Structure formats: C-alpha cells, structure tokens
Amino acid sequence: MGSLQKTAACLLFLSVFSSVSHGQLATFICSDVKTEYNKTATISCISNKKITHVVVKRCENCNKQNSCLESVINTWARKDSSEEGRIRLVLQHNVSEVHIQEVKATDEGGYKWHLYSDAGERDGCATLEITDPEIPKTMKEHVATILVLLFLVLCSFAAILYYKYRQRAMARGNFADILRNLLPVLRQYESAEENVSNQEV
C-alpha cells in the first residue's frame, strides 16, 4: 500500500511539473530610454509570451507610491493613443512599444506598464530621460550673448567717434597756436612797412 502511495505521489508530481513546463509563466522586460529634446522616443517592453493587453501610466517615479497620473495607454478601454496621437501604442505579438513624438520636458520620468498575456500579468517600469530639455534656456543664453556683442560694438563705435573728435579738436588747437604765433610776426611786418613808408616821405 505504501509503494502505491509513493507511485501516485510521483505521478502527481510529474504531471504538475510537466504542466508548469508546458504552460511557462510570462516574463516581461522593459528598457529605459534616453533621447534628445523634440525627437521621437520609443519605450518598449518585451515578453516571452504574446501580449494581449497593455496599460501604461505616466509617473514621476515608478517606485514612489501615488506618483502615477492617469493612463496614457489602456487597451482595455480601447485607448491606444493620447494627446491627439502624439503618444501612441504599437503592439506586435510579444513586443509592445510606446512612441512619443516631439518629446517635451514634461514627458521625462517613469512609465509604469501593466502587461497582460494568456500566461499571466506583470508590472514593469521604464524611465525616459531627455538629454537636452532646457532648449528655451539655451535660447535665452544666445539672446544674452547677442546683447553683450551688440554692447561691445556700440562701445567700439563710441570710442572711434571720441578718437576722431579728439583728433579734430587737437587739429583746431594746433591751428589756433599757429595763428597766435603768426599774429606778432604780421604785426612786426606791418610796423616795418609803416617805418619804411614814413622814411620815404
């Protein structure tokens, strides 16, 4: 009787092992993404089984509780895109991708995935990092640089005008000095001519 029980237990174990090995549990891998400002970002999750449904929520941090906003993708509710198609889901067998066009600074952060398959469901998290989200600040820096250059050009122009004015003033001063020196000579010449004319008379 004991051997029959052992045999039954072994058969039960083998049947359970075989059903588990044939009905493998679903696994999902979600990858972090880094992209440039205003480019298209593709956040993807891959499964070893066919993905049937996807729910994606935008979060400040996937690991932080209550930081997730409303779903941007929810195939249960037939929501395959949001923001007039700027964010959209591409689902092909065991690969799910969320394409975000013209990424903005507000797109940066975590994306919490709820993935469903016939073999079970899993949660995943992917982080989107934008390498240059501060384009407006860069534009402001360019404006500041242009203003500084304009100021330097105006200063140079003012320096040139001052130099020319000084040269003219110096030229006027030299001419005045020449006139001052010539006046005594002219007076002496006039007095000499008067003396000559007086002697002739």
What CATH number does residue 83 fall under? Answer: 2.60.40.10
Per-residue pLDDT of the chain (201 residues; tens, 9 = 90+): 455 444 444 443 444 334 333 446 678 888 899 999 889 999 999 988 899 999 999 988 877 777 788 889 999 999 999 999 999 999 999 999 999 999 998 899 999 999 998 888 888 899 999 987 554 555 666 777 888 888 889 888 888 887 877 777 676 666 666 667 766 766 776 776 677 666 665
Inside any domain, residue 20: no
CB 132 within 8 A of CB 36: yes
- Looking at the structure of the chain, the number of domains it has is 2
- 94, 166: one domain: no
- 119, 155: one domain: no
Domain boundary residue among 85, 103, 132? 132
Q: Which residue range(s) make up the domain with 180?
A: 134-190
Inside any domain, residue 105: yes
